[in-house]
Structure 1
Amino acid sequence: MKEKRNNRVSSFDVARLAGVSQSAVSRCYTPGASISEKSRAKVLKAAKELNYSPNIIARSLVQKTTRIIGVVMNRYASPFYSRVLGEFTRKIQEKGHNILLMNIHNEQGVDDILSTALQYQVDGLVITSATLSSTVVESCLQTQTPVVLFNRYSMHNEVSAVYCDGSDGGRKAAELLLPRHRRFACIKGEEGSSTSRDRSQGFIQAIEENGIRDYLCERGDFTYDSGYAAAERLLDRKDRPDAIFCVSDLMALGTMDAARHKFNLKIPEDLSVIGFDDIDMASWSSYDLTTLRQPLITMVDAAISQLFRSIENLDEGTLVRKLKTDLITRTSTRHSP
């Protein structure tokens, strides 16, 4: 039986056809490496004739850099995080790196996923939807893998983070609703979610400071369907609320549809609804949702800047940057002019 031959073109083949050294071929494909224009032209011409593509894996072993950034998230199908992923991908590629997307399904799988990412020897990690254990933090420190948390923060001081002040956003929602409403409710996210906790706590603290102790809370999971179901439970009560704050826009959209289509309520005359994120659908005329806008582009830019400063050893410290939200008032709420 004939042995299969590996017909993959190597840098040696390109060097021989171009009449240059093998190291010249390597320098041609290494950003910033020194090579004359004449030699570069010869290498590229030979590479085109041979359909040669450089072996990135082999090069990474020599250069001790994979030029891969791991991005860990568990809600990439949501409108907000799909935009986040698109922005991170664009920015990372502009830096000459590639992205390794790793999806987690629950908090219990976080350590395993991050351990796998470290086995790929990624140059850095962006974590958007997970809580870091002390074990994983220690592993990242030992392997000198830079980590930036996006839209969340950690109790570990060694980890950089860029996030929005969810508590302040929840407070802004309450302050808008307080003058013209009496019965308040909040639809939270999953238990254990830091973003849900901060946003709902800010809202609840603000209404309690105004003497309101009788309010309602339900939980969803940041999705449209969970918002719809939570709204059904709230609006089916005799003491149903006349204002609902949802910790995500998708849950707010589900809340609005449940109110209008199942309970025949008018928005905002019978019920005011506020969301969080300002996804594209929030501004659709069928919803026109009042919401808290996160400065997504600024957040991504800050996270990328800090990550690559750490990768390039330009910054040995950590950065924790907390940004403010903007209240975007639309017609889903009754509010003072």
Structure 2
Amino acid sequence: MTPVRLVIAEDTLSMQAILQQIFTPDQGFELLALCNNGRELIEAVARNRPDVIITDLDMPVMDGVTAIQTLRQRWPDIPILVFSNSFILHRSRGSLSAADVGATDILFKPPSVSRQSLPQIAGLLRERVRAAASARPVPATTRPKGPAQASEADVAPLLRRWPRIDYIAIGTSTGGPQTLRTVLGRLPKLFRQTVLVTQHMDAAFMLQFADWLDTQIAPRVRIPGQGERLRPAHVYVAPGDVHMTVEQDTIRLSSAPPEHSCRPAADPLFRSLIPHARHTCALVLTGIGQDGALGLKQLREAGALTLAQDEDSSVVWGMPGTAVRLGAAEAVWSDHALAGFLETLTTRKED
């Protein structure tokens, strides 16, 4: 098996030593360079052209956000995994998130790593790096990768078959932040539906992620609490490390075991909407793994309108690809086409 070739930027010596333990040849990795800051990272990438880049955000000399901006301009096809204790870097000239500059994936860096926690962290990092190696690059801007609008011939029959939608439910993982910004980016500020999102992300990032998404789209974005009543024109993002479900227009949060190694997971959310299937539109977007695919299929069988992101516009076509292979999706569209459809869905006059 060809090893995954890596260049890493991390400014703390203790974490550098841990990363050297994790990414070894016997695990299928070749560590080409270990850099102390963003400037060294850019130079190392120029010399080595790795398969995957791993970088912190907060570093001396040149921070990770600035480095990613340069890397995206010069080598747009190299996947970048951010390994940091923050989703957003606050700088004197303004704040930018890892999603703003086109990071492929974002993983939380714990303040310390014990002997007991090292195997779990190592396994997660290796899995995400391998996934990044096969992922498509994430653009910092949202240029269409597929049709910018689904055709009227495709959209009109769906609107007739589902004359009233109350819930829009979404499951996503790798590449999700930027894709959600696109897919939800054309929603109006006011509309009658409720949007529910399960994004696979470390619990430590969820509040920052929701706050960031709130600045990117027109509707209100929030992390809900237990028992919170659903409101129209709100986007509810599942909190970290709990499953989010719906019961009688109320949010239920559960510490039930992870599904597909994920908590929150999309499948529990989708299953909870089966009683409301005829008034639900569910989407599975870019992401590694299989979460959401079976739940989407169950929703379709119960009468829901189900959609999946196409392969060309997905960063990783794992979750949506599985859904398509299961026959779970009524339609398969690009991220921009999905955005146009949701705009039409939320602005139409319903009977």
| TM above 0.5 | no
Structure of larger gyration radius: 1
**In proportion to residue count, which structure has more strand?**
2
**In proportion to residue count, which structure has more helix?**
1
Query: What TM-score do the two structures reach when normalised by structure 2?
Result: 0.34
